[in-house]
Copies of this chain bind each other. A is one copy, B any other.
Amino acid sequence: MSANDTTETDDLTLVQAVRDGLYGEMDRDDEVIVMGEDVGKNGGVFRATEGLYEEFGNDRVIDTPLAESGIVGTAIGMAAYGLKPVPEIQFMGFIYPAFDQIVSHAARIRTRSRGRFTCPMVVRAPYGGGIRAPEHHSESKEAFFVHEPGLKVVVPSTPRDAKGLLAASIRDPDPVVFLEPKLIYRAFRGDVPTEPYTTPLGEAAVRREGSDVSVFTWGAMAQQTVEAADQLAGEIDVEVVDLRTLSPLDTDAIVESFKKTGRAAVVHEAPKTGGLAGEITATIQEEALLYQEAPIKRITGFDTPFPLYALEDYYLPEPARIKDGIREVVEF
């Protein structure tokens, strides 16, 4: 049930759309529970859960103690017992205390109980840099979760997708790590259908059609990339594919775009080594090597810890760096 043009819409920021998505799913399904640090009365440190506590009460919008493993671990128990918990981790940099519960348990409970127990849980976390935040508040480590079988990993880059992908994630019977690009939480607004709807997981979206080169990206970098592509218009005809779901990857969409252009770049904030650009590159050359006309360029964060904010804008790929990378691919 995708939204169409005649639907009633609101003009929302991405974080408002997240909130709207939570609201809609909680409203239609009593089993959906929001939990985490400061999600209740405070409405979340980014206001992503604003008003939910007042609307649904403290049995369904739960301020927890400050303990990420406890949050995700108890949520796994709740999910196994038939609820649909949506734990919030305040920043992705603080997801690691819960890493064991996510990779050893959430990801595996279905397999190891041969389908008896499942984990319909969505772990939400704002991620990424660029907002002058304190230390440990700016990392992008989506690759960790993509490498764990049994998890889905979803990253919206528009308000409309944020609501639809979140709804789809909550309705999905398997655990989803839902990463929200906080740099663009409030950067712009977009039309968001008022009624609940889902945007299917596992499907990439072409944000900009082009014939010279395909650029694959997600999250806050989708905006930077479209901007770079627009600036290159006339010079280079860039196709921008927003992957939206990082696990499972939409290999078909990647390969299809690449077969058309024969050239590609991947843009992500995460460090280069071991980042998903490698996975995407490997996938492309497995499936479409004969179409390949140039090395696939990885335009990414550096292999260094994310610097404190005085230097963060140097760390993050921005249009100039993206344009140079794209030119390199095209000029090869």
Using a CB–CB cutoff of 8 Å, the interface residues on chain A facing chain B are 69, 93, 96-97, 99-100, 103-104, 107-108, 111-112, 135-136, 141, 143-144, 146-150, 247, 249, 270-271, 273-283, 285-286, 289, 292, 294-298, 302-305, 308
Residues A96 and B93 in contact, CB atoms below 8 Å apart: no
How many Å from the CB of A60 to the closest CB on chain B? 29
Residues B147 and A275 in contact, CB atoms below 8 Å apart: yes
With A99-B100, A104-B96, A286-B295 in contact, is A147–B305 under 8 Å at CB? no
CB-CB nearest in chain B for A302? B149
With A96-B100, A149-B305, A278-B278 given, can you name 19 additional A-B contacts, CB distance below 8 Å?
Answer: A107-B305, A112-B135, A112-B305, A143-B147, A143-B274, A144-B144, A146-B274, A147-B271, A147-B274, A147-B275, A149-B271, A247-B273, A273-B279, A278-B279, A278-B280, A278-B281, A278-B283, A282-B298, A285-B295
Residues B273 and A146 in contact, CB atoms below 8 Å apart: yes
Report 23 cross-chain contacts, Cβ distance below 8 Å, ordered by A residue: A69-B97, A93-B104, A96-B100, A96-B103, A96-B104, A103-B141, A107-B305, A108-B305, A112-B308, A141-B148, A143-B274, A146-B274, A149-B271, A149-B303, A149-B305, A150-B304, A150-B305, A249-B273, A278-B278, A278-B281, A278-B282, A282-B298, A289-B292
With A96-B103, A100-B97 in contact, is A276–B274 under 8 Å at CB? yes
Give the CA-CA distance A258 to B100 in the complex, in Å: 37
Residues B285 and A296 in contact, CB atoms below 8 Å apart: yes
Give the CA-CA distance A134 to B295 in the complex, in Å: 43
Give the CA-CA distance A100 to B98 in the complex, in Å: 9
Give the CA-CA distance A99 to B147 in the complex, in Å: 15
How many Å from the CB of A301 to the closest CB on chain B? 9
Residues B294 and A289 in contact, CB atoms below 8 Å apart: yes
Give the CA-CA distance A253 to B291 in the complex, in Å: 27
Which residues on B sit within 8 Å (CB–CB) of A107? 305
